[in-house]
Amino acid sequence: MSIGKQLIEQLRQLATGEGATLADGAPLVVAGQPDHASLVFSDRDRYSVALRELVVGMNVDAPADTRAYLSAAAAAVARGLSFLEEPLAVWELDGSEGMAELRSSPPLREGDEISYWEVTLTAAQPSARAARYRWAPGMAEREIVAYPATFALLGRMADVLAGALRDTAD
């Protein structure tokens, strides 16, 4: 069963009270093989949550060619997450640091406020972290936006991220 389907199933169990309960702010962890996922969210109902952060990782060794791996994984994420509001583009790729960052391009602008998706890929122990941010003039730093997401959307996102990490780890 894919990591996305496992995530959806655990969210359904949580929503119906069949599974374990979570303290506010505690991540929902899905341990698969070789994939694993962690979901941080706030409010939830029977079909959706307010997403704060989705992290998907692989239990594999770091790739031999970090830059090539990150480049291929970033391209796969940008293609695979094309269903989000804005298309993603590589913002930064640093093979020596083992990190790539994708952001919405262009970001959503509402007046002076900017909202965007950010996906950070790491190669040391392959993982991908997705979150939605906002920034407006006068804010000291950007902040994570609680994004309303259905269980199906989260499962789809988790599968895309896991696929990008797995399919490029050769």
Q: What is the pLDDT of residues 113-129, one digit of tens each?
A: 999 999 999 998 899 99
Of 23-27, 64-68, 74-78, 142-146, the poorest mean pLDDT is in 23-27
- pLDDT given for residue 24 in this prediction: 60
- pLDDT given for residue 61 in this prediction: 80
Q: For the whole prediction, is pTM greater than 0.85?
A: yes
Secondary structure (3-state) at 42: strand
Q: Is-contact 55 127, C-beta < 8 A? A: yes
- pLDDT given for residue 28 in this prediction: 87
Distance in angstroms (rounded) separating the CA atoms of residues 118 and 120: 7
- pLDDT given for residue 94 in this prediction: 94
Distance in angstroms (rounded) separating the CA atoms of residues 58 and 3: 11
DSSP designation for 158: H
Q: Is-contact 85 104, C-beta < 8 A? A: yes
Give the tokens for residue 147. 């994004």
- pLDDT given for residue 34 in this prediction: 79
Over range 35-62, report the average pLDDT.
91
- pLDDT given for residue 6 in this prediction: 93
- pLDDT given for residue 168 in this prediction: 65
Residue 166 predicted with pLDDT over 80: yes
The percent of residues in the chain predicted with pLDDT above 70, rounded, is 94
Over range 117-146, report the average pLDDT.
96
Of 16-20, 67-71, 90-94, the poorest mean pLDDT is in 16-20
